[in-house]
Amino acid sequence: MRISFKAIAAAAGLLVFSFGATAQTAATAGTLDKIKSSGKVVLGVREASPPMAYMLGAGEKYVGYHVELCERVLKEIAPQAKLEYMAVTAQNTIPLVQNGTLDIGCGPTTNNTARQQQVAFALTTYVSEVRMATRVDSGIANLDQLAGRNVSASTGTTAVQLLRKRERAQNVSYNTMLGKDHLESFLLMESGRADAFVLDDNLLAGIIANSKNPSAYRIVGEPLGSEPIALLFRKDDPAFKSAVDDSLRRMMKSGELEKIYTKWFVAAIPPKNTSLNLPMSATLKQLIAEPNDKPLEAYAK
């Protein structure tokens, strides 16, 4: 059977149009619709970011402050959906949210204006201070002492940006050593290859509490900056953002969020049943009273 060139061209045109329409539909479909049709919701979690999000035991159970907030929110807005957990890193979380692999990011991700161009953030649920951890016997107590020394930081974190910013502002130089994740960055300091490890204070406290010898390390020095931390999801999906924010707002108003905070930051946490002893800051208390999703840059003013 002969098929004319015109017929082939017309069929190709219809195929392209059909593919384009399908792609456009997929791109504009809301997260709530996606969850409803698939029957599951995919949570992006971290393996080594206690107390925000970390893996507990060989059974690959993920726990932490932000993991629990995610679970509470999703059980309220999508009670029939199966929760599926995916281990992510600081550097691949946003791309995986953008391409639809993740429905929600539950790790300790900083909300800043650059990232707001790529994804959307929920109401702020933690405000961290970027500081440094050192070995007690190092004698290092402030940032000025780090000039010319080895400093570890995790790839993809804002700590790296803040270190570079301080280098320019103070005309100093650090030998920044990048770990692929927080445990590798801590190991650089623990083994003596780095003199300090720079990260959010809550994450530093969690890693130290779960280290082999917690008393050998301390968090010191002035903060490099304060950072709003929030759950994140796909940009331009107002229905999903509204559902997540409303659920968080209810937890804030009822006092439930503060109870969850106390569970992970003040009470003893697994696996070593040690406490981080990080009471809720005045800044976070104010944010619970008056919730917002302002980016990092608003805190620098």
The domain spans of the chain are 30-127+228-299, 129-226
pLDDT at position 78 is 97
Q: Which superfamily is assigned to 30-127+228-299 in CATH? A: Periplasmic binding protein-like II (3.40.190.10)
Q: Which superfamily is assigned to 129-226 in CATH? A: Periplasmic binding protein-like II (3.40.190.10)
Average of per-residue pLDDT across 36-64: 92
Average of per-residue pLDDT across 177-205: 95
pLDDT at position 59 is 67
How far apart are the C-alpha atoms of 64 and 53, rounded to whole Å? 4
Average of per-residue pLDDT across 218-237: 93
Helix (H) or strand (E) holding 243: helix 238-254
21 — pLDDT class (breaks 50, 70, 90):
very low
Average of per-residue pLDDT across 45-63: 89
pLDDT, tens digit, 9 for 90 and up, residues 250-261: 999 999 999 999
Domain 30-127+228-299 shares a fold with domain 129-226: yes
The answer, yes or no, to whether residue 13 has pLDDT greater than 70, is no
Average of per-residue pLDDT across 185-210: 94
pLDDT at position 301 is 60
What pTM, to 2 d.p., does this model score?
A: 0.76
Q: Which residue in 47, 44, 46, 54 sits closest to 276, CA to CA?
A: 54
Average of per-residue pLDDT across 137-166: 94
Q: Tokens representing 205?
A: 């406290």
pLDDT, tens digit, 9 for 90 and up, residues 79-124: 999 999 999 998 999 999 999 999 999 999 999 999 999 999 999 9
Average pLDDT, the chain: 89
Handedness of CA 127, 170, 301, 90 (dihedral sign): negative
18 — pLDDT class (breaks 50, 70, 90):
very low
How far apart are the C-alpha atoms of 113 and 125, rounded to whole Å? 17
Q: Which long-range contacts (CB under 8 A, 24 or more apart) does 72-80 make?
A: 72/247, 72/251, 72/256, 72/260, 73/231, 73/244, 73/247, 73/248, 74/41, 74/43, 74/104, 76/247, 77/32, 77/243, 77/244, 77/247, 78/32, 78/35, 78/36, 78/41, 80/39
pLDDT, tens digit, 9 for 90 and up, residues 190-199: 999 999 999 9
The answer, yes or no, to whether residue 6 has pLDDT greater than 50, is no
